[in-house]
Structure 1
């Protein structure tokens, strides 16, 4: 599935059609700034949280981090584990804040 841009995500949030958003940054980063409605699961904790995410396997999920690197890894990991609608937020939180 194609990745998503910050303007597209913001438009979908505004229209009430936002996907599930998972922030894979560390907890302290999420506490400094976060996307409204997002769920914080640091990348290192993602493998241990798969069971909790099972009901999201066929829903659209957007993963994000600070700039896009960790979330690209998270996307690949989730896809490997059967999640079929995962998108990376291009530019991460930095891009989102500038959009």
Structure 2
């Protein structure tokens, strides 16, 4: 693979990753009705889109799908950490689910 190819691919991945990450972090902050269950649905759809790549969506779409999955996985992981920390600090009562 040409070095220029890998550079644009990495740039595309990074840009899409950052866009998706920021979109969902802002959604969590600004929409109290947004739940972890809804985020999981977005992640499940992203996995499905990623798996559908075998039919030949092309490099650009494959890179964007991979970036979307990575960003949503990071959001989910970080959100769970925050909830665990808040629960440990007594800010969230036991039994309250998100």
The normalised TM-score by structure 2 is 0.29
Larger radius of gyration: 2
More helix by share: 2
The normalised TM-score by structure 1 is 0.29
